[in-house]
Amino acid sequence: MQPDYLTGLLGIQGYRVTTVEGIGNEPGRSMARVHLERTRQGFICGGCGQGVLQGYDHAWQELRHLTLWQHQTILRFPRYRVDCPDCGVRTEALGFADVRGPRVTRALATHIYELCKVTTVKAVALLFALHRHTVKDIDKEALAKVQAERPLDGISVAGVDEISIGKGHHYWTLLSALEGPRGPEMLYIVEGRSEKRLKKFWRWFGKERAALITHAVMDMCKSFRNSFRAHCREDLEIIFDKFHVVRHLNNALNAVRKAELGKALGRFKKTLSGKKFVLMARRSRVRGHAREALDAIIAASPRLAKAYLLKESFVHLWDYTYKGCALRFWQDWKAQLKWTRMKPYRNFVKMVDRHWDGILAFCDKKVSLGYIESANLKARNVIRRAYGYRDKDYMKLKVIQACTPWMAQFQPWTAAHSSVP
């Protein structure tokens, strides 16, 4: 094969192929070492990026490149040091060799990054005959580069939620943008959920961007409220996530079911046993045998039927667009508990009254909360697939990538991010 053809095939500017050397003939592991000769004049300082006319000295460097015709390809070329008037002696900058750490070219690193989006690190390592730590380091560097260079302007509505990590009280706090020029996206992940831990996010996000946030969606965690109040504008509107409010109501309903189950005997006890999720589901979504079981529960226990109907009617609170109408609905709903002896529901009423302003704020700002729930599900799926990972920073970056759709089109190593050919 002609060296000039190979030079064009490699697509590396400023160099040309001189010779190709075969290394090994094992099936599936044959390698080719491609020797390159420098053809361009001048150098670029790796520190400041300015042009330098003459090199200081050089050493031969080898980098793994894309596989060509089932041959693992290694590029061997002279890498110069330059005497920069501003930075002193520095290694020259080369666009095709700007990957830090692993000795691979930008083209191979980009290919590995794309494959890691759709398959596992282990599978990519087997495909390229690389160590899995090498593949992981390449993917981690790419994700960190995307995270550092991502646009953060124009975010007006932020969301914050927590997920449990492993056993014990270990939590990650997921911070996301619900409304902005790029749509819903995951912004940052913090270990823990205290105000002190959340300061790390605000340092990364910046005061100017925080001042543009007008609404924040969260659960009723005190540390979340205090953190957003301290770092955002004074007129920030806090909206309590309705899914968390309904979860408290479902817990109250289940407590009533357990109380009824404790007093039940014989056939009635069998009717109530194991029906927790049947009662929690919306009636319109219950089908088949589950619908029959639900009807049997309502017919067997008037007290549990009352609790279930109250749960079903409560969700209409978020249908109102005027606060006055929502307040009247809430007062009527509470009045139905006057002659009932359901302590879990009375505790639920007290909780809602304490957080009424944040619950009522949803009437003014109908924020779509589906992204928060879907992000939690995707985060749990990534964490489950990453069972055994010891690098938590890498796992956080993978969660952010999975929960941010536009990141799939963002390339970490392109001409837009590097002016060096």
Residue 3's pLDDT is what? 61
Same domain membership, residue 162 and residue 233 = yes
Q: Which residue blocks in 129-241 are alpha helix, DSSP H?
A: 132-149, 195-205, 207-210, 222-231
Whether the pLDDT of residue 24 is over 80: the answer is no
Residue 102's pLDDT is what? 76
d(CA 128, CA 135): 9
Q: Is residue 286 part of a domain?
A: yes
CB of 78 closer than 8 Å to CB of 92 = no
Same domain membership, residue 293 and residue 342 = yes
Name, in order, each residue with C-beta under 8 angstroms of 8's C-beta and a sequence gap of 6 or more: none
Q: Is residue 173 part of a domain?
A: yes
Total structural domains within the chain: 4
Q: Is residue 78 part of a domain?
A: yes
pLDDT digits (tens, 9 = 90+) for 86-126: 888 888 778 777 777 778 888 888 889 999 888 888 899 98
Nearest 5°: the CA angle 196, 199, 202 is: 165
CB of 173 closer than 8 Å to CB of 194 = no
Same domain membership, residue 215 and residue 312 = no
Structural domain that includes position 16: 1-97
Q: Is residue 377 part of a domain?
A: no
Same domain membership, residue 300 and residue 357 = yes
pLDDT digits (tens, 9 = 90+) for 151-189: 888 899 999 988 887 666 788 899 999 988 888 899 999
Q: Is residue 171 part of a domain?
A: yes
Q: What is the dihedral of CA 121, 126, 127, 131, to 10 degrees?
A: 70
Q: Is residue 369 part of a domain?
A: no
pLDDT digits (tens, 9 = 90+) for 270-320: 777 777 888 888 887 888 888 888 888 888 888 888 998 999 999 899 888
pLDDT digits (tens, 9 = 90+) for 243-276: 889 999 999 999 988 888 877 766 677 777 777 8
Q: Is residue 163 part of a domain?
A: yes
CB of 320 closer than 8 Å to CB of 360 = no
pLDDT band at 26 (very low <50, low <70, confident <90, very high): low
Same domain membership, residue 391 and residue 334 = no
Instruction: Work out the burial of residue 390: count CB atoms within 10 Å of its CB; fewer than 13 is exposed, 13-18 middle, 19 or more buried.
Output: exposed
The token pair that represents 410 in the structure block: 């963002």
Which DSSP letter does residue 37 get? E
Same domain membership, residue 161 and residue 142 = no
Phi, psi of 10 (to 5 degrees): -70, -30
Q: Which residue blocks in 11-131 are alpha helix, DSSP H?
A: 106-116, 121-128
Same domain membership, residue 66 and residue 13 = yes
Same domain membership, residue 345 and residue 281 = yes
d(CA 242, CA 217): 9
Q: Is residue 38 part of a domain?
A: yes
The token pair that represents 302 in the structure block: 């008037």
Same domain membership, residue 81 and residue 10 = yes
Same domain membership, residue 249 and residue 192 = no
Same domain membership, residue 109 and residue 63 = no
CB of 359 closer than 8 Å to CB of 218 = no
CB of 228 closer than 8 Å to CB of 205 = no
Which DSSP letter does residue 53 get? S
pLDDT digits (tens, 9 = 90+) for 314-329: 989 988 888 899 999 9
CB of 62 closer than 8 Å to CB of 33 = yes
Phi, psi of 331 (to 5 degrees): -65, -40
Same domain membership, residue 359 and residue 247 = yes
The token pair that represents 39 in the structure block: 């053809």
pLDDT digits (tens, 9 = 90+) for 194-210: 999 999 999 999 999 99
For tokens 């831990």, the residue is 197
d(CA 215, CA 178): 10
b/e map 109-132, b = 16+ CB within 10 Å: bbbbbebbeeeebeebbeebebee
The token pair that represents 308 in the structure block: 């279930």
CATH number for the domain harbouring residue 201: 3.30.420
